[in-house]
Chain A
Amino acid sequence: MSADITRRDVLTTAVRGTVLAVMGGGAGFLVKKANGQIVWQVDAARCVNSRLGETGVAACSLCTTECVVPLSAVRAVNEYAKCGRCNICPAYFDVTSPVDQHGYPSVKLCPRDAILRHPIGKLDPEDPANNFYEYLIDETKCDGCGKCVMQCKDPLGLGSITLRVRYDKCVNCNRCAISTACPQSAVVQLPAGHAV
């Protein structure tokens, strides 16, 4: 019987099997994606705005300009456990701007004024340096331009601010426009359980 099986039969069976496996995998992926089990996310270790070692370069704003969602589905997020609560935060202030009469930078960094600064606890009126500050990002204003992310990262800051896809805004396109445009391939698909 084995003499009746030709090389053509073997190859045909192998190709059919491969095609079925790919189709099955693709269908499984689409089902998972449709169920929200596969999502887009920004890989902070690849994103030029948060990747360590990239200093002295302008912030990348492709997440703002390429996303199909109004303002962008990508927003800056401050991870409070990492934030230094500094008196002069380089993500809040443009630290290269002239100093005002109170000794602070006179210009804010965020072009949309999306970062709020609040003192924590009781203020020391005699010495403002004796205070910690909380920095809140107003996500109704933030468009994910990445300027604050670039200024927050080490060595200038502590890297507490990163860009993240907000799932209540992301429409989970099959081909994410930011992912297509990102030269760092920093917008990746992940199982929802692995996303931040």
Chain B
Amino acid sequence: MPYRHLKAIASQFEFALTALAVDARGQLHAGGDRAVEVYDGDGRRVGRWAASRQVCSLTVAADGTVYVGEERQIEIFSGAGQIVRTLRHPKLAGRVTSLGFSGDDLLAGDTWDRAIQRFDRTGTFLNSIGKDNPVNGLLIPNGAVDFAVALNRTIFAANPGKHRVERYSPAGGLLGHCGRFDGRDPAGFTGCCNPTNVAIGGALFTTEKAGPRVKAYDFDGRLLGVLATDLFDPNCKNMDVAVSPAGAGPERVYVADTVRRTIQVFEAVNS
């Protein structure tokens, strides 16, 4: 297994830890309750600011701007936590449970439409991703849309109701998928609806609920290993996962324990 458990970071959130993202400098941003917290590489809290609504997701742009997904809106903050603007759009009708960038375009996972909505930098809607199928969207009985964007702009979206991770082009074309149901073989996804969350780094990382599990796959869908199961509260679900940027030391994988409101940190081990 090329990853080891490094440490746990206790957040200050009182009710919910819902979102994780790592900026270009390797600082970890965590979202929960109605707030964003920032941690340095050693896990020390170096910042905290309030959001206007329950934080459902967040991402950090290359310039350090922090985008926070909430119910029916995205709040955009400076890296110091000053509100810059709020993006509202009819295509953001539910909770925004995932955010990311594809080049200059902003991608937002919307639970109402069960899809990823693509906007340009000005906030103009471009297209939906994940809706062109017979069930008119991603199957999310778990109540969260989650995705990650590869360097080549391919979008990896969790489709938990189908027990798959699907690959999409920014224009919304389905490029392929990996994953299958299996309640015994750890290479498969168990339960009614897994994986719930995905992240991309040196591998494709997934998290599952009931029981909680973090796994790494190669980009062809072959299981590389299970990072952890017993570290998490068994009632965890929709555990967000984030990966440190390439070139900033050994790769780190951050996973939210949504019940204990702690962040479990894993580090790549040179093999």
Contacts and interface: CB of A to CB of B under 8 A. Distances in A.
A35 interface: no
A37 to B, nearest CB: 38
Nearest to A94: B183
B209 interface: yes
A86 B211 CA distance: 18
B235 A55 contact: yes
Given A84-B192, A86-B193, A130-B135, A154 B181 contact: no
A87 B161 contact: yes
A95 B135 contact: no
Contacts of A99: 181-185, 188
B182 A90 contact: no
B9 interface: no
A122 B192 CA distance: 21
A103 B133 contact: no
How many chain B residues sit at the interface, stated as a range, is 20 to 34
A129 B190 contact: no
A56 B161 contact: no
A132 B134 CA distance: 10
A160 B164 CA distance: 24
Interface in A116-153: 122, 124, 127, 129-132
A105 B188 CA distance: 12
A165 to B, nearest CB: 27
A104 B190 CA distance: 11
B209 A156 contact: yes
Contact of B161 (A95, A103, A129, A157): A129
A52 B190 contact: no
11 contacts: A55-B210, A56-B234, A84-B192, A87-B162, A96-B183, A104-B181, A124-B134, A130-B134, A130-B135, A155-B236, A156-B209
Given A55-B235, A103-B181, A157-B141, 17 more contacts: A86-B139, A87-B139, A87-B161, A88-B181, A88-B191, A95-B183, A95-B191, A97-B183, A99-B181, A99-B182, A99-B183, A99-B184, A105-B181, A129-B163, A130-B133, A154-B235, A156-B191
